[in-house]
């Protein structure tokens, strides 16, 4: 796409100084839980009702894939899905490529799930997803007996059906919930046991949800083990509010003087909340209220009030538990007093964009001193200037720079923001409703 058509497709924002941020917010449902609820609901016996479903482009892409595979999915109301499960062996060949859009979670988990089917499948994605590495998933799956053709380790992925899968014990070289989940889903179709060991514990959404759907699984931080030969039973799922979406407001209210925000029913899976701990180390004032369980996941209300932040040397132990929240942390570090040092976050270089490079370049455009390293950055905080930054088609980068505009001298223009709809539809309206000054350019 080029010229006038490209300009028409692209969406730019201007975020101006504003605040204080006040009110009570309900951010959208958790994307990771929404993906997994669809997948397990599709493979279960019976009908599963999902409430709090994220109405984002990524999750809708996954729903469309299962519709192509012969699963009936109804939408009784916005944020709800009724999935008529077809059982573990009830999926049907699609006859055409399965388009995952921008959803890396969708593609990687589907690779594991489809590796054990009797039919061939081809997974494709948009331009951004087509640049994301898939060998980390395909190589261990091939050790299980799958046959997967790639474009030098990149999508599209062609999965050959009719393969006999054998469970393996896999010591993952990367801490990735997507890799772990892909292998566990393939393990449903495998002979014997599948066990995944991780260098650092990652999110256990798949493990918790498999248990909720009745599949025997043994898991603890850093490991998960299951055997094939069982049945998934339909269950109703209440999706908690997405911590990654709440993250932008936790940072924004911490930075904007006079702010006092309450975020309702946010998912607090312990493998997800590294940013909460990081912000507290920086001096943030965040209260966890009314802790409870929802659909097997811990949730709570979060009250965040403005507090002066200071730079920290981020403990590497927190990195796996906040990998999606680093763009927001970069902005918090830029506005904090002193220097923040980030190490052990090389995974950021293979997200929707190279998030270390994109955030560093954007912050430099706003006058912030940033020293990039292979696995992180050193950010000299203090003041954030005005300027134009690139969103690089990365939803989390775009929203993070919208937060930066709150405390910039005269505001920030953020170019290429359309992909925000993949994870946070309605972000602009919700942000402006609590005190942002965010508009289309």
Residues designated as active site = 324
Sign of the C-alpha dihedral computed for residues 169, 174, 175 and 177 taken in this order: negative
Residue 13: both structure tokens together: 């924002």
CA distance 113 to 157: 13
Distances in whole angstroms, Cα of residue 378 to Cα of each of 330, 372, 403: 10, 7, 20
SS3 for 84?
strand
Beta-strand pair 80-86/285-294: unpaired
| H helix intervals, 144-191 | 177-187
Closest by CA to 182, choosing from 230, 270, 115, is 115
**Token pair recorded at residue 30:** 């958790």
Report in angstroms the alpha-carbon separations of 204 from 91, 208, 296, 307, 349. Answer: 25, 6, 11, 32, 23
- Name the packing angle between helices 326-335 and 274-281 (round to 10°): 10
Q: How far is CA 40 from the centre of its chain?
A: 18
d(CA 260, CA 257): 9
| Residue 236: count of CB within 10 angstroms of its CB | 14
Strands 154-159 and 169-171: unpaired
Distance from the Cα of residue 439 to its chain's centroid: 25
Cβ-contact 13, 439 below 8 angstroms: yes
Cα(439)–Cα(44) distance, rounded to whole angstroms? 43
Place of tokens 């005269």: 410
| Residue 398 to residue 12: CA distance in whole angstroms | 9
Q: How far apart are CA 177 and CA 180, in angstroms?
A: 5
């Amino acid at each position: 796409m080029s010229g006038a058509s490209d300009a028409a497709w692209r969406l730019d924002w201007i975020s101006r100084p504003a605040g204080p941020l006040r009110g009570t917010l309900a951010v959208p449902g958790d994307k990771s839980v929404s993906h997994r609820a669809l997948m397990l609901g599709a493979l279960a016996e019976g009908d599963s009702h999902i409430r709090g479903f994220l109405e984002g482009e990524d999750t809708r892409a996954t729903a469309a894939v299962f519709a192509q595979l012969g699963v009936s999915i109804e939408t009784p109301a916005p944020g709800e899905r009724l999935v008529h499960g077809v059982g573990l062996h009830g999926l049907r060949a699609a006859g055409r490529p399965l388009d995952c859009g921008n959803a890396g979670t969708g593609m990687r988990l589907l690779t594991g799930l489809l590796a054990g089917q009797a039919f061939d499948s081809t997974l494709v994605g948009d331009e951004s997803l087509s640049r994301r590495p898939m060998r980390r998933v395909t190589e261990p799956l091939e050790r299980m007996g799958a046959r997967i053709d790639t474009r030098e380790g990149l999508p599209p992925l062609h999965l050959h059906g009719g393969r006999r899968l054998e469970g393996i014990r896999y010591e993952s070289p990367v801490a990735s919930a997507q890799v772990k989940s892909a292998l566990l889903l393939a393990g449903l179709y495998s002979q014997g046991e599948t066990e995944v060991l991780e260098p650092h514990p990652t999110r256990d959404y798949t493990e918790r949800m498999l248990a909720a759907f009745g599949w025997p699984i043994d898991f603890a931080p850093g490991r998960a083990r299951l055997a094939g030969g069982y049945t998934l039973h339909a269950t109703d799922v209440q999706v908690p509010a997405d911590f990654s979406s709440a993250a932008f407001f936790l940072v924004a209210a911490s930075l904007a003087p006079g702010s006092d925000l309450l975020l309702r029913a946010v998912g607090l899976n312990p493998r997800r909340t590294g940013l909460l701990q990081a912000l507290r180390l920086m001096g943030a004032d965040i209260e966890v209220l009314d802790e409870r369980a929802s659909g097997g996941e811990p949730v709570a209300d979060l009250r965040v009030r403005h507090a002066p932040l200071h730079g920290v040397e981020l403990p590497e132990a927190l990195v796996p538990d906040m990998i999606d929240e680093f763009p927001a942390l970069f902005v918090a570090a830029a506005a904090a007093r002193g220097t923040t040092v980030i190490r052990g976050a090389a995974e950021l270089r293979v997200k929707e964009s190279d998030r270390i490079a994109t955030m560093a370049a954007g912050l430099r455009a706003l006058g912030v001193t940033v020293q990039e390293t292979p696995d992180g950055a050193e950010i000299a905080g203090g003041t954030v200037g005005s300027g134009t930054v690139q969103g690089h088609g990365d939803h989390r980068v775009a929203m993070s720079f919208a937060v930066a505009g709150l405390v910039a001298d005269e505001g920030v223009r953020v170019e290429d923001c359309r992909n925000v709809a993949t994870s946070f539809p309605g972000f602009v309206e919700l942000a402006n409703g609590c005190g942002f000054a965010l508009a289309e350019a």
